[in-house]
Structure 1
Amino acid sequence: MEWQITDRQFTIRIRTPRELHFWIKTIAMVTCCDFILRIQHYFWPIIPNEVADVVLNLYYIFFILGIYITINYFKKPRKVIINFDSGTFRYFYFLASRKYYFAEVECIRIATDMSKALTKLKGNMYHRVYLKLRKQSFLFLGEFDDDQQLNLFINELRNVFDVHVDKLHKVGRKLSKEVRLGRYTIEKEISRGGMGKVFLARDDFMQKAVAIKVLPANLALKYDHANNFARETRILQKLRHPNIIQIYDVGREKGKKTDIYFYAMECIHGKPLSFFIKEKAITIEQSVRYAIQLSLALDYIHSHKVVHRDIKPENILIRNEGSCVLIDFGIARDISIRYKKIYKRVFRHQPEISHHVGTLPYMSPEQISAHHDIDYRTDIYSLGITLYEMLVFKRAFTGNSATILRAIPTSTPTPPSKENPRVPQSLDTIVMKAIAKNKNKRYQSGALLANDLHNWLHDIVVEKQQLNLWQSLSQKFLHFFQG
């Protein structure tokens, strides 16, 4: 669609799909009739030649007229002259290129089609823009799948016509002002990932904003995705912590082919940690404070036999008041004894609970290697890599996927103080211990990591490394003779 607005003239290529579809259907119908007449006339010559000639002439007339209409439709922009005083405009009608028609605009209508957004993971919300005229007629202007282009176009239209905007939503053939999932009214899409989409919604019962995570219908048909979604909801329902996203409700909505599964969670007013890292808008002290909060959150979920397996800046939200929240438990795993037995016996070959899940630059060495069991210490490693990135504003491992895959088990990142001189060397000790290749040499719990970070924050010296038995006895022996 091409459009341009000046002071007194509004030039636009107005699309009228109903008229175009009518002529296409007419040509198709006449073509079918012509084909049937030719077949019957050849095999069963009972139709007079005069009738066949008339049908052929009509076919040629409609065909030429259809070509003419199609060319005009695609190539000829029409001008709309605005009368600001009366609130009317005149425009070229579709078939009468030299004739002007007057119309009064009542409102601008935006019909948002939510069908693909709710049923397909990669489907977008399409916005169709109409001008509502007198006598309840609508003039179709175009279709947008980009919110910025839509808002720009709508603002220009409002400046020209000075009318209100009527927003409607569409699911399937139903057109309404609201799209609902249970007691929740969908407003807009916030984000999407491999396990579903997240929408901003309004809880009509509690009268507050919530975030709705939806498993699109095309994924609900697959057992693996439906099972992962159910596991995620079960994990979130048993977690209650100020630094973990809180789930409110779980629901299911009837669909045409399959049901739409969703759950409602708290709406976080803030931005992801990745935004602050990209903008370099985070201090060393803030980084340590966020790492303490996340360490305590990890210690809590590990006490409930849950491993997150996807700790990264994109899955950490910073509230406007300053606290952080851990989100997206889509690939989290329950490592309770009962589940572990089932995993070893039945599900060890299923991809959704295999080692190779997560985000590659933040995966631990044991996540990459299939020869080591994954436990809670993989989250400690990922948090250490995230803290490293907060301190130096770049990832610990860079390059393509193959390079990172080789580097994680073998290469040790440069200490943060070497990358950023403002990072104290005493903080290197904590970070490098958290990202140790051997999981037995890392912090064995989130509480221990939080304790060392807290001590560093309050100027308490942290030992560079844990002494072994021989070093400990040597120190005691030396102190005994010196004392």
Structure 2
Amino acid sequence: MSDLSGELIDGRYQLIRQVANGGMASIYEALDTRLDRKVAVKIMHPHLAQDDAYVTRFIREAKAAAALSHPNIVAVQDQGWNQNGIPAVFLVMELIEGSTLREYINERGRFDIREAINYLTPILSALSAAHSIGIVHRDVKPENILVSHEGRVKIADFGLARGEVIGSTMTAESSVILGSVSYLSPEQVQRGIADARSDVYAVGIVAFEMLTGEKPFSGDTPIQIAYMHVNEDIPSLRSKRKEIPKALDELIIRATSRDPDSRPRNAGEFLKELEAIALELDPKKNQMKLDLDLPVEPIREKLRPPVKPKPLPEASIEIKETTKQIRRGEEKKRRTSKRVRRNRKIALLLAIALGVGGWYTLVGPGSR
């Protein structure tokens, strides 16, 4: 698909630059000229836009995603078909300026245990909100998990893969399966079906990668990796990293079980078990918990605000006095003050007397 930067979509969205290009669509940073704000515009590739069934699913799922209101889900703001210029099916979302979880993993390797839990918690919370209204993501992977510059975790592309047939995807859109195959559940690979437990499996794989710094399976082709997911169990976390708590290891083993019935039924159940483990690791954390309003640390250290210099403490001298000494000092001050006032009065009277006497002698009747 050619770069559409500079195009005006739907008479409203001015495409500024292309920020991502995938197997199904390209994403642009754009300006909403009506509201004068930055947005992200996702434009479906032209060859897919010719498929009425695919476009219908795209529109239906865009509406479903728009129905989700959650602080850790990328908000969908508009959807339509460009009528005034180049034909394009588009989706408008909030613009998240930051990095993907994939970039975090590439930069950091494996995560600290508590840090990984801090990331997994908002991911599962977002999926739990979706599962509660019957929406399944179907393509959970680090590339679809965004982290803003402020540290807020956001999941993107909700529901856009619903109804996709895995077989046709692997032949017609091999680039899509290359990006997702490491996180596909066995039932998605075998039967092309997915439910909430498939998302649980994908999050389990993401957790494995965050905690070990590597994917559980690797191969030369997507088919090889898919085959491993269907026929082999995910390695134990503790076999890769001894300090992983046993409870966390067991939870990830169950989440990535090849049998969907052995996994937590949905992201909400997964989240509850993970929070219980987090509480065991840090009992004080629950006292400070404000749910999802505490963002995780951003990928790059934020600049710290300048620290105002503290004034140097003034030198002091220690003085020890008894109560009697303090009272005597105060009485002495009072006596001194009375004497000063009396002396001032006498001096004033003398000055007046001298003035009057001088006038009488020099100018007045006494001068005659």
TM-score after normalising by structure 1: 0.52
Q: Which runs of 5+ in 2 are unaligned?
A: 283-368
Aligned twin of 1:201:
30
Aligned twin of 2:211:
391
| Distance verdict in 2 for CA 1:415–1:224, change over 3 Å | same
Q: Does 1:241 align with 2:70?
A: yes
- State the distance in 2 between where 1:218 and 1:255 align: 19
- State the distance in 1 between where 2:78 and 2:244 align: 43
- State the distance in 2 between where 1:412 and 1:218 align: 38
In the TM superposition, 1:230-379 aligns within 5 A as: 230-254=59-83, 259-280=87-108, 282-329=111-158, 331-333=160-162, 351=168, 359-370=180-191, 373-379=193-199
| Distance verdict in 2 for CA 1:350–1:411, change over 3 Å | closer
> How far off is 1:403 after superposition?
2.5
SS in 2 for 1:436: coil
| Distance verdict in 2 for CA 1:180–1:444, change over 3 Å | closer
- State the distance in 2 between where 1:259 and 1:204 align: 20
Q: Which moved more, 1:410-419 or 1:437-446?
A: 410-419
> How far off is 1:350 after superposition?
9.6
Aligned twin of 2:237:
416
> How far off is 1:207 after superposition?
2.2
Aligned twin of 2:260:
439
- State the distance in 1 between where 2:108 and 2:246 align: 20
The one-letter amino acid of 1:197's match is S
Aligned twin of 1:341:
none
- State the distance in 2 between where 1:439 and 1:383 align: 14
- State the distance in 1 between where 2:54 and 2:141 align: 22
In the TM superposition, 1:125-136 aligns within 5 A as: none
Q: C-alpha offsets along residues 379-429 of structure 1, whole Å, 9 cap, x if unaligned? A: 100110011001001101111223312211221122112213343333211
In the TM superposition, 1:219-234 aligns within 5 A as: 219-234=48-63
The one-letter amino acid of 2:204's match is G
Q: Which moved more, 1:295-304 or 1:278-287?
A: 278-287
| Distance verdict in 2 for CA 1:460–1:275, change over 3 Å | closer
> How far off is 1:216 after superposition?
4.1
SS in 1 for 2:235: coil
SS in 2 for 1:443: coil
Q: C-alpha offsets along residues 355-395 of structure 1, whole Å, 9 cap, x if unaligned? A: x985211111111112x853211110011001100100110
The one-letter amino acid of 1:392's match is T
> How far off is 1:300 after superposition?
1.2
The one-letter amino acid of 1:321's match is E
Bigger Rg, which one: 2
- State the distance in 2 between where 1:286 and 1:295 align: 15
| Distance verdict in 2 for CA 1:348–1:293, change over 3 Å | closer
- Structure with bigger helix share is 2
Q: C-alpha offsets along residues 23-64 of structure 1, whole Å, 9 cap, x if unaligned? A: xxxxxxxxxxxxxxxxxxxxxxxxxxxxxxxxxxxxxxxxxx
- Structure with bigger strand share is 1
> How far off is 1:235 after superposition?
2.0
The one-letter amino acid of 1:396's match is P
How many residues are treated as equivalent by the alignment?
275
- State the distance in 1 between where 2:223 and 2:161 align: 25
> How far off is 1:327 after superposition?
0.6
TM-align CA RMSD:
2.9
Task: Tell me if structure 1 keeps the 8 A contact 2:59–2:79.
Answer: no
SS in 1 for 2:29: strand
| Distance verdict in 2 for CA 1:404–1:381, change over 3 Å | same
> How far off is 1:332 after superposition?
3.5
Task: Tell me if structure 1 keeps the 8 A contact 2:166–2:189.
Answer: no
The one-letter amino acid of 1:313's match is P
TM-score after normalising by structure 2: 0.67
Q: Does 1:454 align with 2:282?
A: no
- Decide which of 182, 195, 200 is 1:380's aligned counterpart: 200
SS in 2 for 1:231: helix
